[in-house]
Amino acid sequence: MYREYPLGVGFIGTVLKEHGYEVAIFDQNAEGLDDELLWQTVQAFAPEVVGFSVITPNYPVARAQITEMKRRYPETLVLAGGIHVNLFPEDLLADGADYAVLGEGEYSTLELLNRLAGGGDVEGVHGIAMIGLGGIRKTSRQPAALDLDALPFVDRGLYDLPKYTHHSMVASRGCPYRCKFCCNYTGTVLVKGVAVRSHEKVIQELQYLEQDYGASEVFFADDIFLLKKSEMLAFAKTYVESGLRVCWIGQMRADSIDREVAEALAAANCRRIYFGVESGSDEILARADKRMTTSQILEGVSCAKGAGIRVKTGWIYGLPGSVAEQRKSIEFMLRMRPHEISIHQLIPFPGTPYYRSPAEFGIRIRDPKDFESFCYGGLGNNVSFDYMSPAQLIELLEQTAEALEREGYVSSDEATAADPFIYTTPLNLNSMTVFRSDKRGGPLNPAMSSAC
């Protein structure tokens, strides 16, 4: 139901455009699965440089496209960036990328292109990896996070806006927590720390979106919107004084909200909040290092709901813990009754302790480089859990769906944004299917298809 434009490539495109480069963005999440449109776009635009933005779930697609790009256009320079590239730069270089860009890409990319255009040495460019005579060579990373206030606003003219459900922006980059299931931006893209923008700049960008683009809704793609209670209160005050009308959506931790904050955010036109709840078991939450208890979560959610804010919640089935503990999520959902429930199955993504040392958590990964199995949510073949079989997971998902439907929740297969109570699980058609192999004509993961 929601579709957002990709901000990372937007930032890079904006900086390049400001420095005289001609830029186009192709977003396959919005354009659909048919690669033909990609090749037509490349043919028509005839770029000298192509950059791929890669996170683990889209790596199998990116890998194939990079190889094909080099086959069709051997002279075109290929760059790769994004969180997956920071974890496995050597793989992207082996796939055919000329340079892997590490860290925040705005100025590394600009500097790299300027130097290449001028025939200069790329050694002094921060955060790039390339194949040299003796194997992979990396230059030194940017020493600190970028000053986000000094960056230009993303040029929304780079996107095909009608393809997206709302606008998006960031107020911060990074996160100080260390939940074990999360591939944290801090430590992968950012070497360390969290970068936060000033309220004034955030308000100015909202004004720009409202006035220049007629935005009525903006999604903040931050890991945690503004991080602290004091920051949120100050932002809400500035927002109210600004006379803005645009509504917005934020992703937050439930323990960062109390009644005062929730009411201030509601007065500042916060329409929806996404909370990562993950589980209804305190034991599972503690083991995952979530640093929040179920009672804190319940309190935060009820403050947001009480202030009239629509609440979307994310849950993970399959975090380390017994099936009996996992089942506690059903009762917790019904008690909490958030407007939207989005259930995912645990995927031990690279960049997390579950990927680095799975055995410690009862997780088995047969081939850590079989990323297809990480992307399409199949369990049992490559990734399995000692504490929960695929059949048990599916049974739990079905029991959850039944319980939620009994209580008036509508499945995402049928729901519209107007439905008050919506849920989705990995068994729903619209969940994680963007790049599913069944849609590409190949077989579904057998572990899922035989059991479904």
Residues contributing to the site for ligand B12 (CB under 6 A): 4-9, 11-12, 29, 51-53, 55-58, 79-84, 101, 104-106, 109, 170, 182-185, 189, 221, 223, 344, 349-351, 432, 434-435
By CB under 6 A, what part of segment 17-46 binds ligand SF4? none
Q: Which stretch binds ligand SF4 (CB under 6 A): 45-53, 95-103, 176-184, 257-265?
A: 176-184
For ligand SF4, the closer of residues 78 and 343 by Cβ is 343
Q: Which stretch binds ligand SF4 (CB under 6 A): 175-183, 204-212, 389-397, 410-418?
A: 175-183
Q: Please report the sign of the dihedral spanned by the C-alpha atoms of residue 326, residue 331, residue 336, residue 340.
A: positive
For ligand B12, the closer of residues 53 and 294 by Cβ is 53
Q: Are 315 and 344 within 8 A, CB to CB?
A: yes
What's the CA gap between 151 and 357, in Å, rounded?
Answer: 37
For ligand B12, the closer of residues 58 and 329 by Cβ is 58
For ligand SF4, the closer of residues 178 and 339 by Cβ is 178
What's the CA gap between 225 and 223, in Å, rounded?
Answer: 7
Binding partner of 82, given ligand B12, ligand SF4, none, CB within 5-8 angstroms per partner class:
ligand B12
Burial class (CB in 10 A: 0-12, 13-18, 19+), 354: buried
The nearest distance, CB 112 to ligand B12, in angstroms, is 8
Q: Which stretch binds ligand SF4 (CB under 6 A): 123-131, 177-185, 321-329, 387-395?
A: 177-185
CA angle 360, 363, 365 (to 5 degrees): 115
Alpha carbon 91 to chain centroid distance? 21
For ligand B12, the closer of residues 170 and 401 by Cβ is 170
The nearest distance, CB 116 to ligand B12, in angstroms, is 13
For ligand B12, the closer of residues 79 and 427 by Cβ is 79
Which ranges constitute the DSSP H helices of 101-227?
Answer: 106-117, 199-213
| Selected binder of ligand SF4 within 28, 168, 172, 184 (CB under 6 A) | 184
What's the CA gap between 236 and 247, in Å, rounded?
Answer: 12
Binding partner of 432, given ligand B12, ligand SF4, none, CB within 5-8 angstroms per partner class:
ligand B12
Which is nearest to 13 in space by CA: 98, 125, 86, 109? 109
The nearest distance, CB 241 to ligand B12, in angstroms, is 28
Site string for ligand SF4, 223-252 (x = CB under 6 A): xx----------------------------
C-alpha count within 13 angstroms, C-beta hemisphere, residue 347: 19
Number of H helices, E strands in the chain: 17, 17
| Selected binder of ligand SF4 within 39, 73, 107, 177 (CB under 6 A) | 177
CA angle 197, 55, 138 (to 5 degrees): 85
DSSP state of 139: P
b/e map 85-120, b = 16+ CB within 10 Å: bbbbbebbbebbbbbbbbbbbbbbbbbbbeebeeee
What's the CA gap between 255 and 229, in Å, rounded?
Answer: 10
| Selected binder of ligand SF4 within 276, 348, 380, 426 (CB under 6 A) | 276
For ligand SF4, the closer of residues 297 and 447 by Cβ is 297
Taking phi over 0 as left and psi of -120 to 50 as alpha, with beta for the rest, 328 belongs to alpha
By CB under 6 A, what part of segment 361-420 binds ligand SF4? none
For ligand SF4, the closer of residues 169 and 285 by Cβ is 285
Q: Are 394 and 337 within 8 A, CB to CB?
A: no
By CB under 6 A, residue 312 contacts ligand SF4? no
Count of residues of this chain found to bind ligand SF4 when the rule CB under 6 A is applied:
10
For ligand SF4, the closer of residues 129 and 227 by Cβ is 227
For ligand B12, the closer of residues 170 and 264 by Cβ is 170
Helix (H, G, I), strand (E, B) or coil at 134: coil
Q: Which stretch binds ligand SF4 (CB under 6 A): 124-132, 174-182, 385-393, 407-415?
A: 174-182
The nearest distance, CB 319 to ligand SF4, in angstroms, is 12
Within 8 A by CB and 6+ apart from 292, the residues are 253, 254, 255, 285
Q: Are 316 and 279 within 8 A, CB to CB?
A: yes
Residue nearest to ligand B12 (CB): 81
The nearest distance, CB 83 to ligand B12, in angstroms, is 5
Binding region for ligand SF4 (CB under 6 A): 175, 177-179, 182, 184, 223-224, 253, 276
